[in-house]
């Protein structure tokens, strides 16, 4: 034993233990995010509980089991909760999501296992996804089409009517976003044009009349579309469904608020799988609802991708040029040394500092100057002098510059110098050698750097909070109105979405699964990008290794 | 690298080549420019907070009036000034030369005489924010007026029209029903109530509330005074002031300060009476600071003392919090509108500007004119109007950031209403006259605390992992293990923060005994496993290749962790009576937040582990093999070789890894933002949270006003972070470069 300790073997095992802990945490973390993120889309059973609460009486509860924990009974009695007599040292309690937010005080409720008299899973229990107030659970009693109850299979009729109302909702939305949206956009542009003429002193009576005329035309068009919109909305309000909820009351749900109805207890595994895929698709393609705590994350995905691509366009040339300078042109000396320290430091400066810098320098100074030079008509309302997607992209471009530089330089250093010498010997100039030989050979490395930069930027939140991200952006930075790219607009971002929904929303408990799903999406994208980059890099290494021999 | 020669003689190609060289060089240097730009821009924003106050003489002019001035003032744009004179009149006049309206300074814009029936016997001025002026007459009546400025834009040019608002009616209001002359007067307004304190010629001290009632017949508001008398008032009264919330009446009589509680005027009581003179000096004047909770007392030896109310053992008392020394007998003390600055005028024409919170003497100089009879400060504190024997003189005052001094940022400061000097960060509040508390100490402390706990968790695990991976692990396994751990670096910190705040924090709260148990059991388990493995039959051991120990340990660690967590509840009942939190708080007196340093330490440790691991692993792995082989050949065990040879050689690399990790932990934002309560407290308690520099910036930057002191201090916080991380990274990089050179020579 003593010898064994002397040999140092226990300490080696301790270090091995550290590796195991690291591995467990990495893999455990990823698996947990994946599990918690994906389970959000899986239809879970709805239970009907008979509950007896000491001192209050019996009641019925319908809902999903959301969480379960076992706690010492003492802790509960300390909190003044009355337990039934024969409770052991521990008691299990369930967190039940009851939905029906407008009719109950709390849509999440802790229920002690000892208080549950019975638990059933009736196949007829329906889950209504609604555009307002979250889920609704209950039994479908009757379906009402155009004022008359539907006869026959009410579930089939319900599905048909929901399809109809959601089609109408889609129509209304597209009308609102494209036609009406572009009229509003045009009106605003005209207002600014008029104001610009005032500022220049060129506003003649002629032009005023012109503006008036076109404004009138636009307003007339607007009226037409608005009438159409109201018509569609009225159509969508036509039907309703009567549902019996857990209080035993009949509740009338207008179908224009119902997005989907499912009977999870009645589903077999294939139904559930189909539903899972459908929910996943809806999550990726839908707009958020209810202050981001429900619905999809499409605008956040779009905003993230748009910003990251803009950033890639900015960072690539600078990063590659800097790497080429460092590797191909720079001579050993104090300047180069300082440059390398600058690169290391750019990589090490906390991201929030970039945010502060971006806000002060890009937004207020650069953006402010752009506004006073090019958009005087909109002042004092800022155009570029306020956080926006362009400034976010530039700020993150500086932040990710070192990533591109380091990666490109590594690629350059792997290209054997014989290749360069060969090119020079054949009479090419250095620039030509670089352009024709070196850069093409280094392009996978540049690609690697770019992918890593994109992955880094996609996950960065702190600086974006200062330079352009918002909790809910009414318009995407890309739309059908000229000039199509609206770089001054604010945008939504997946990472910020996680922070916002997880920590700023009023009902964190309800939003938590959605946050896990968003986190899973973000992690998948980022880990995927990283693995791709590592793959490309390893491939490159192998390739050049064979070149050297 | 390849040399710069070319074989071509084609000039256009040569030109292109040169052009490429220059543009690439410029592009490369841009990186340096970017870093320098960040540095200098941050500095540029921060720098104004250290500017001293400047006072510059502007226009000088005289007013065509014969009566004596009682008070002067000016409006927000510093275009128009006003003077109340003892002929019961007000004069509005121009202060500056304004091009658009071709006005000259000193030009009288408007003059107004007020109706009155008695003779003037006293005059009073409210706090600067309320801008009320009161004439007291010898028949016991008071007339209250308020100068106002109506803004209009004829022809797109801003125009201000001065007017007088009779706050309590155009007729003077009777305060003293006995009709005695009012020899001293104080006035103040809060929401709809106007309070007046008056000292009558026959020595009674009166306190009144003015009430306005609408007359149903005429629709006019009729004002009446509800007056009470205060008993046992001192005979001689030098100054009377009412606090801005109408709670206290301050009465200076010689060197004595009397403080009356006048919240309810029918039950006025003397709460405190004390001598407020400085040592060997006499009180000359007294005034209230903006916000009305501090009393400033001036002495004839030039000392100005600040007094405010604190909650002491025996209730609330006023204490002397700090003193300023000007060296010249103080004649007047004039507070600013919103900030805790005040101006002083001394007998020989000295003007002083002070800021109480930061203990700063911002300006102390003799002005041109010898005697200053009146002084008024602009609402935006950017100008001062001074009346001297020679006439009026406007001064431009540049005093943007008086609240920021080295002392205010980094030392203990005694804030208004606080029982003792403290380090406090509290930047904003709903009130305009809120005393901002800009101590960077608690948030700098929070940063260090967070980084400390993160490093406490990360360094042992990261270094131990690096040692094993680089030195003991089989190379096949290393190829997968290293990138797996490194990929953690790519994990967005917002996700780590979210998990820490919403998933880990409740788990830790519920299973605290289990966590502690795990910390003890885990090392024991590993060593036991190692011993068991050592004793295990050879056939077993041969089944698993060498250097796979960590894989062997994974299921064991998982199992032990599971056990520890499932025994957590039993342990809780056994040791802490089923309520660990209650036990901590009640028995040990340790306060417990759900989002605490332990959570942050683990989560941020997680973020830092890959950084440290990656660099340290590289450093250990690249120790030349012949060194360790030599040691092994001489009979050292592999552990001895590691400790005495490999780690020693790689120590600079390990050092730089730790520095890099520290740099990252110091600057990390999202994790601390989400996993702590963000309360700026100073306590090493692992079960309490903190607020860090970075989180503070993220929380407060979006709502801070551009160019304000708050904004610049947040930039200063960013600058401090920048400098911190710059030092860590540069040192780490230097060490690494030296190490690389050393290895290449070996």
Name which of A543, A345, A352, A531 is nearest A452 in CA terms: A531
Least confident of A445-449, B222-226, B419-423: B222-226
Provide the pLDDT confidence category of residue B7 given band limits of 50, 70 and 90: low
Least confident of A76-80, B80-84, B151-155: A76-80
Question: Which H or E run contains B643?
Answer: none
Q: Does B721 touch chain A (CB under 8 A)?
A: yes
Cis before residue A483, ω within 30 degrees of 0? yes
Residues of A in contact with B613 (CB under 8 A): 22
Q: Choose between B544 and B636: higher pLDDT.
A: B636
List pLDDT tens digits, range B68-98: 888 999 988 888 889 998 888 888 988 887 7
At B346 the pLDDT is 86
| Percentage, residues of chain B above pLDDT 70 | 97
Q: Which residues pair with B199 in a beta bridge?
A: B184, B205
Q: Does B394 touch chain A (CB under 8 A)?
A: no
Question: How many residues belong to chain A?
Answer: 549
Provide the pLDDT confidence category of residue B662 given band limits of 50, 70 and 90: very high
Provide the pLDDT confidence category of residue A548 given band limits of 50, 70 and 90: low
Decide if pLDDT at A357 tops 80: yes
CA dihedral (A162, A167, A168, A170) positive or negative? positive
Decide if pLDDT at B1 tops 60: no
pTM of the model: 0.89
Q: With beta carbons less than 8 A apart as the criterion, state whether B704 and B714 touch.
A: yes
Decide if pLDDT at B4 tops 60: no
Q: How far is B182 from chain A (nearest CA, A)?
A: 51
Mean pLDDT of B132-161: 86
> A-contacting residues of B 102-161, CB under 8 Å?
none
CA dihedral (B469, B471, B475, B479) positive or negative? positive
Q: Choose between A53 and A260: higher pLDDT.
A: A260
Mean pLDDT of B276-286: 87
CB contact under 8 A, B495 and A498: yes
Please tell me chain B's helix, strand, coil percentages from 3-state DSSP, rounded to the nearest 5.
Answer: 40, 30, 30
Cα–Cα distance for residue pair B682/B690, rounded to 1 Å: 8
Nearest beta carbon to residue A498 from set B472, B483, B498 = B498
Level-2 CATH architecture, domain B441-745: Orthogonal Bundle (1.10)
Q: With beta carbons less than 8 A apart as the criterion, state whether B715 and B46 touch.
A: yes
How many CA atoms lie within 13 Å of B476's alpha carbon, on the beta-carbon side? 5
> A-contacting residues of B 557-586, CB under 8 Å?
557-558, 569, 572-573, 577-579, 582
Nearest beta carbon to residue B637 from set A8, A90, A328 = A8
CB contact under 8 A, B522 and A26: no
Name which of B293, B262, B502 is nearest A33 in CA terms: B502
At A85 the pLDDT is 65
Q: Which residues contact B41 (CB under 8 A, 6 or more apart)?
A: A357, A360, A361
3-state secondary structure of B646: helix
CA dihedral B326, B328, B332, B333 (to 10 degrees): 10
CB contact under 8 A, A350 and B667: yes
List pLDDT tens digits, range B606-616: 999 999 999 99
Cα–Cα distance for residue pair B88/B69, rounded to 1 Å: 10
CB contact under 8 A, B493 and A361: no
Least confident of A214-228, B197-211, B293-307, B359-373: B359-373
How many CA atoms lie within 13 Å of A261's alpha carbon, on the beta-carbon side? 29
Provide the pLDDT confidence category of residue B3 given band limits of 50, 70 and 90: very low
Mean pLDDT value across chain B: 86
Nearest beta carbon to residue B34 from set A20, A356, A398 = A398
Chain A residue closest in CA terms to B581: A75
Cα–Cα distance for residue pair A317/B364, rounded to 1 Å: 56
Give the residue extent of every domain in chain B. 114-275, 441-745
Nearest beta carbon to residue B523 from set A14, A338, A428 = A14
List pLDDT tens digits, range A140-156: 888 888 888 888 888 88
Give the residue extent of every domain in chain A. 47-130, 141-278, 304-491
CB contact under 8 A, A13 and B17: no
Q: With beta carbons less than 8 A apart as the criterion, state whether B223 and B173 touch.
A: yes
CB contact under 8 A, B715 and A360: yes
Mean pLDDT value across chain A: 87
Q: How far is A200 from chain B (nearest CA, A)?
A: 15
Q: Choose between A271 and A543: higher pLDDT.
A: A271
Q: With beta carbons less than 8 A apart as the criterion, state whether B409 and B440 touch.
A: yes
Cα–Cα distance for residue pair B282/B302, rounded to 1 Å: 10
List pLDDT tens digits, range B414-460: 888 888 888 988 887 666 667 888 889 999 999 999 999 999 999 99
Question: Which H or E run contains B329?
Answer: none
At A526 the pLDDT is 92
CB contact under 8 A, A13 and B529: yes
Provide the pLDDT confidence category of residue B565 given band limits of 50, 70 and 90: confident
Q: Which residues contact B96 (CB under 8 A, 6 or more apart)?
A: B58, B59, B78, B79, B103, B105, B394
What is the third-level CATH fold of A304-491? MetI-like fold (1.10.3720)
3-state secondary structure of A531: helix
Cα–Cα distance for residue pair B342/B354, rounded to 1 Å: 6
At B360 the pLDDT is 85
Q: With beta carbons less than 8 A apart as the criterion, state whether A304 and A494 touch.
A: yes
Q: Does B666 touch chain A (CB under 8 A)?
A: yes
List pLDDT tens digits, range B17-46: 889 999 999 988 888 898 899 999 999 999
In this prediction the ipTM stands at 0.90
Least confident of A342-351, A464-473, B570-579: B570-579
Please tell me chain A's helix, strand, coil percentages from 3-state DSSP, rounded to the nearest 5.
Answer: 65, 15, 20
Question: Which H or E run contains B536?
Answer: none
């Amino acid at each position: 034993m003593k010898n064994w300790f002397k040999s140092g073997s226990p300490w080696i095992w301790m270090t091995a233990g550290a590796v195991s802990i690291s591995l467990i945490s990495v893999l455990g973390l990823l698996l947990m995010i994946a599990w918690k993120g994906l389970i959000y889309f899986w239809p879970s059973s709805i239970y009907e509980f008979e509950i007896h609460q000491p001192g209050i009486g019996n009641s019925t509860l319908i809902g999903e089991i959301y969480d379960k924990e076992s706690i010492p009974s003492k802790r509960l009695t300390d909190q003044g909760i009355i337990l039934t007599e024969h409770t052991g040292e521990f008691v299990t309690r369930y967190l039940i999501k009851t939905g029906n937010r407008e009719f109950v005080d709390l849509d999440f409720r802790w229920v002690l296992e000892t208080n549950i008299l019975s638990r059933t899973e009736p196949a007829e229990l329906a889950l209504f996804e609604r555009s307002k107030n979250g889920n609704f659970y209950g039994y479908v009693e009757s379906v009402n089409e155009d004022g008359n109850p539907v006869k026959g299979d009410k579930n089939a009729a319900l599905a048909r009517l929901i399809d109809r109302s959601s089609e109408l909702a889609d129509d209304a939305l597209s009308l609102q976003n494209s036609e009406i949206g572009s009229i509003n956009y045009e009106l605003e542009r005209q207002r600014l044009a008029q104001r610009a003429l005032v500022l220049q002193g060129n506003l003649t009576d002629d032009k005023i009349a012109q503006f008036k005329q076109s404004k009138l035309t636009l307003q007339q068009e607007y009226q037409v579309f608005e009438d159409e919109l109201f018509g569609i909305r009225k159509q969508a309000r036509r039907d309703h469904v009567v549902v019996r909820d857990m209080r035993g009351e009949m509740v009338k749900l207008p179908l224009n608020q119902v997005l989907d109805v499912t009977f999870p207890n009645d589903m077999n595994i294939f139904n559930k799988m189909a539903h899972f895929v459908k929910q996943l698709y809806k999550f990726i393609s839908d707009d958020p609802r209810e202050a981001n705590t429900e619905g999809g994350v499409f605008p956040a995905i779009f905003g993230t991708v748009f910003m990251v691509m803009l950033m890639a366009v900015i960072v690539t040339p600078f990063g590659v040029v800097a790497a080429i300078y460092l590797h191909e042109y720079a001579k050993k000396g104090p300047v180069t040394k300082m440059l390398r320290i600058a690169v290391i430091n750019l990589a090490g400066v906390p991201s929030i500092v970039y945010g502060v810098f971006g806000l002060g320098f890009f937004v207020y100074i650069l953006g402010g100057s752009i506004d006073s030079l090019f958009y005087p008509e909109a002042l004092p309302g800022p155009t570029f002098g306020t956080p926006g997607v362009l400034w976010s992209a530039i700020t993150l471009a500086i932040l990710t510059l070192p990533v591109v530089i380091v990666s490109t330089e590594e690629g350059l250093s792997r290209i054997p110098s014989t290749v360069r010498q060969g090119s020079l010997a054949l009479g090419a100039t250095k620039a030509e050698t670089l352009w024709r030989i070196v850069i093409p050979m280094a392009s996978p490395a540049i690609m690697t750097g770019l992918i890593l930069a994109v992955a880094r930027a996609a996950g960065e939140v702190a600086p974006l909070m200062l330079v352009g991200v918002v909790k809910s952006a009414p318009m995407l930075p890309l739309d059908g109105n000229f000039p199509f790219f609206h770089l001054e607009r604010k945008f939504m971002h997946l990472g910020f979405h996680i922070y916002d929904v997880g920590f700023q929303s009023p009902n964190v408990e309800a939003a938590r699964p959605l946050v896990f799903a968003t986190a899973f999406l973000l992690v998948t994208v980022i880990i995927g990008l990283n693995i791709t980059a590592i793959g490309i890099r390893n491939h490159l290494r192998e390739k050049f290794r064979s070149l050297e021999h | 690298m390849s040399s710069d020669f070319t074989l071509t003689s084609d000039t256009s190609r040569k030109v292109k080549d040169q052009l490429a060289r220059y543009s690439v060089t410029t592009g490369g240097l841009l990186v340096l420019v970017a870093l320098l730009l960040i540095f200098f821009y941050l500095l540029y924003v921060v720098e104004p907070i250290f500017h001293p106050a400047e006072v510059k003489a502007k226009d000088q002019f005289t007013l065509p009036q014969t009566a004596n001035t009682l008070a002067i003032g000016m409006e927000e744009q510093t275009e128009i000034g006003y003077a109340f004179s003892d002929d019961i009149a007000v004069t509005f006049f121009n202060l500056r030369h304004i091009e658009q309206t071709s006005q000259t300074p000193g030009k009288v814009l408007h003059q107004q005489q007020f109706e009155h029936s008695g003779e003037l016997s006293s005059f009073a001025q409210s706090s600067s924010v309320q801008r009320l002026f009161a004439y007291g007459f010898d028949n016991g009546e008071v007339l209250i007026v308020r100068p106002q400025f109506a803004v209009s834009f004829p022809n797109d040019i801003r125009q201000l029209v001065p007017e007088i608002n009779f706050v309590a009616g155009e007729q003077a209001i009777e305060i003293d029903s006995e009709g005695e002359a009012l020899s001293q007067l104080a006035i103040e307004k809060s929401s709809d109530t106007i309070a007046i304190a008056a000292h009558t010629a026959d020595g009674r001290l009166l306190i009144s509330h003015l009430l306005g009632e609408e007359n149903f017949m005429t629709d006019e508001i009729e004002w009446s005074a509800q007056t009470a008398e205060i008993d046992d008032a001192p005979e001689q009264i030098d100054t009377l002031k009412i606090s801005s919330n109408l709670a206290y009446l301050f009465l200076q009589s010689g060197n004595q300060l009397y403080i009356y509680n006048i919240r309810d005027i029918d039950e006025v009581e003397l709460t405190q009476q004390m001598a407020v003179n400085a040592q060997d000096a006499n009180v000359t004047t007294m005034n209230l600071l903006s916000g009305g909770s501090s009393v400033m007392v001036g002495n004839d030896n030039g000392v100005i003392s600040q007094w405010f109310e604190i909650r002491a053992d025996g209730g609330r008392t006023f204490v002397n919090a700090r003193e300023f020394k000007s060296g010249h007998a103080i004649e007047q003390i004039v507070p600013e509108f919103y900030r805790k600055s005040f101006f002083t005028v001394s007998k020989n024409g000295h003007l002083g500007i002070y800021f109480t919170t930061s203990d700063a003497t911002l300006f102390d100089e003799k002005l041109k004119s010898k005697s200053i009879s009146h002084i008024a400060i602009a609402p935006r504190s950017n100008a001062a109007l001074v009346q001297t024997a020679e006439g009026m003189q406007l001064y431009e005052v540049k005093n943007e950031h008086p609240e920021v001094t080295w002392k205010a940022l980094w030392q203990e400061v005694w804030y208004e209403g606080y029982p003792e000097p403290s380090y406090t960060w509290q930047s904003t509040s709903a009130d305009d006259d809120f005393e901002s508390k800009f101590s960077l100490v608690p948030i700098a402390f929070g940063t260090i605390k967070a980084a400390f706990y993160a490093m406490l968790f990360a360094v042992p695990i990261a270094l131990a992992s690096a040692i094993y991976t680089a030195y003991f692990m089989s190379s096949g396994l290393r190829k997968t293990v290293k990138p797996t751990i490194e990929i953690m670096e790519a994990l967005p910190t917002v996700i780590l923060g979210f998990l820490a705040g919403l998933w880990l924090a409740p788990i830790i709260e519920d299973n605290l005994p289990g966590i502690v148990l795990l910390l003890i059991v885990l090392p024991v388990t590993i060593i036991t496993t190692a011993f068991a493995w050592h004793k295990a039959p050879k056939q077993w051991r041969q089944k698993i290749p060498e250097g796979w120990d960590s894989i062997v340990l994974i299921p064991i660690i998982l199992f032990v962790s599971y056990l520890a967590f499932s025994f957590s509840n039993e342990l809780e009942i056994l040791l802490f009576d089923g309520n660990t939190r209650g036990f901590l708080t009640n028995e040990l007196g340790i306060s417990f937040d759900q989002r605490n340093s332990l959570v942050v330490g683990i989560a941020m440790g997680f973020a830092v582990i890959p950084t440290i691991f990656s660099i340290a692993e590289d450093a250990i792995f690249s120790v030349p093999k012949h060194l360790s082989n030599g040691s092994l050949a001489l009979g050292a065990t592999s552990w001895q070789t590691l400790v005495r040879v490999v780690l020693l050689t790689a120590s600079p690399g390990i050092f730089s890894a730790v520095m890099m990790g520290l740099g990252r932990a110091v600057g990390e934002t999202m994790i601390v933002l989400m996993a702590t309560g963000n309360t700026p407290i100073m306590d090493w308690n692992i079960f309490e949270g903190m607020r860090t520099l970075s989180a503070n910036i993220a929380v407060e930057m979006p709502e801070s006003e551009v160019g304000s002191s708050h904004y610049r201090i947040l930039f200063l916080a960013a600058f401090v972070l920048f400098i911190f991380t710059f030092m860590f990274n540069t040192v780490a990089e230097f060490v690494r470069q030296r190490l690389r050179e050393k290895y290449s020579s070996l």
